[in-house]
Each structure stands twice: as C-alpha cells, then as structure tokens.
Amino acid sequence: MLITLTTDFGLGEYVAQMKGVILAINPEASIIDISHNVRPHSVREGAYVMYSATPFFPFAAHVGVVDPGVGTERKAIVVVCEGAMFVGPDNGLLIPAARRFGIKEVREIRNENVFRREISSTFHGRDIFAPVAAHLSLGEKVATLGPVLQDWVDLDFGLYNQRGREFIGEVIFVDRFGNLISNISGKAVLDAYKWGDLLSIDIDGKDYVAPFVRSYGFSRSHKLLATISSSGFLEVALTEGSAANHTGATEGSSVRVGSKGGEAK
C-alpha cells in the first residue's frame, strides 16, 4: 500500500528517519513525498497542501506531521475515509483533506504495540505516525489502534462571503510562483462572471483591476489576472511574475472581488 508524507521538516534527516522506520516495518511500502516545505508550524498551510494533493492518489495512508504541540497532551489520530486513511496529530491538519473523501470515523491512536519502542517527546512523526502507517500498510486493522473519537479538532479554510456578484474571502496559500490561492470558490465566481470580464480586486485594502481568464497565458506579461486554481479556488496571479511580490499579500490577506464593468482588451 501507498504511504504519502506531508511535513514541515524539509527534505532531510527527519523525513529520512520516518522513511527508515516505515521500511524497517514494511520493506515493500511505497512512499511518496507530498511536500516537506510546509512553512514551519503552519498547520493551516499543511492542511491546504494535503487537501490539494491527496484526492489525486489511489488508496493510501496519508501521514501528516505539522505538529507544534508534539509531546503535550494533544492526541494522535487516524481518520478513516472512503478511499483513504489519514494519520497524524489531532490539530486539524488532516481534516480538510479527509472531509473531501468523506470521514467515516476518527480514532485515537493508543495502542503502543505499533509505536517504536523508544518514543522521543519531540518526534512523533518518526516514533508514532510513521510506524502506525507502516502497520496499516501491512493490513493492521484500524480498530486495534484505539477507541473511536466523537470529538476532534476541526479546521476549515474560513468561509467566504458572497453578496450578489461580490465575493469576500482571504488568501489561504501562496505557492512557489507567488500565486495567491483564496478560499473563494472558483465555480461560484465562474457562475457570476464570464471569461474575459474585468474584475475589481481588493487585496488588503489595495485596489487592482484584473481580467478573469481561463489560464495564465491569456493575460499580458507582468499583468495581474484572476483565474481558477488547479485546486478549484479563485486565484490571483501575475503572468511571468509573482502576484505575492506585486501586492505584498501573504497567507491571511483579505480578498474582495467585484465587477469592474468592462471586458478585458
């Protein structure tokens, strides 16, 4: 069975330790890195990365470790879904991705027989989550891991507001290109506008005008544009440049989208 890893560790010795632990338990495990470049301690960015990537995989155990509360009493959980399992800390990291699959049950991981023998207080990714995923990949039954939880830490990307053709939301992710991914539904914007419409876009109180286009290539070089991100959200981008640098926006910046009353030339 496939195991994927998403962490804020960088691709280095910590991730390697997790892979070593998995392969020592199941030498046949197939391990795929989703990302290890999550901003350190940013549970929400990690949640977005898992939300964005996991639906494309065949059945897998998806391990997530962005875990500022490691070593305190925060629980370790496994989330069982249709078509996927998620393993990680009970801090909301796994929930948006799991909800996309449909959550069947959440269990607390308590069965120490599937942990590494020595458990450090600083690295549950290696000592708990990796071995649990490895045992699941060998066919370990989820029910043996621990009791069903009725309550767990939730996380969503915030609700956006829509009033007629006006949308108010926020930036939830800035990708490597400086593209700004908002929490506004791309489909909702496409219902309200058509390709080529000029939008008025307010980011953190600064006003911009940008065409709503099907893809980056349809806008002129170094001009702001609005499009639908590959994960389905409204995205603000700058052709051959960085919208993040251009606008100064970061994760959490406010985004308001309205009509500019014209068509792109």
Please give the residue ranges that form the binding site for a copy of itself (CB under 8 A): 2, 4, 9-14, 16-17, 19-21, 23-24, 27, 31-37, 40-41, 48-49, 52-58, 68-72, 74, 120-123, 126, 175-177, 214-218, 227-230, 235, 239-240
Identify which of residues 204 and 218 has a Cβ nearer to a copy of itself in the complex. 218
Half-sphere exposure of 141 (CA within 13 A, CB side): 3
From CA 141, how far away is CA 116, in angstroms rounded?
18
* Of residues 202 and 241, the one with the C-beta less far from a copy of itself: 241
Q: Could you tell me which of 27, 10, 40, 31 has the C-alpha nearest to residue 129?
A: 31
| In the complex, minimum distance from the CB of residue 41 to a copy of itself, in angstroms, rounded to a whole number | 6
In DSSP terms, 202 is beta-bridged to 207, 256
The tokens of 181 are what? Answer: 């991914």
For a copy of itself, the closer CB: 34 or 78: 34
CA 160 to chain CA centroid, nearest Å: 17
Q: Which is nearer to a copy of itself, 113 or 221 (CB)?
A: 221
Listed in sequence order, the DSSP H helices in 128-185 are 130-137
Distance in angstroms (rounded) separating the CA atoms of residues 39 and 22: 24
User: At closest approach, how far in Å is the CB of 205 from a copy of itself?
Assistant: 27
| Cα radius of gyration rounded to whole Å, the chain | 21
Q: How far is the CB of 18 from a copy of itself (least distance, A)?
A: 8
Nearer to a copy of itself, 53 or 168 (CB): 53
CB of 185 to a copy of itself, least distance (A): 15
Tell me 22's DSSP state.
H
Least Cβ distance, residue 161 to a copy of itself (angstroms): 25
Least distance from a copy of itself to the Cβ atom of residue 122, Å = 5
Give the C-alpha separation, 36 to 4, whole Å.
11
3-class DSSP state for residue 175? coil
Nearer to a copy of itself, 144 or 230 (CB): 230
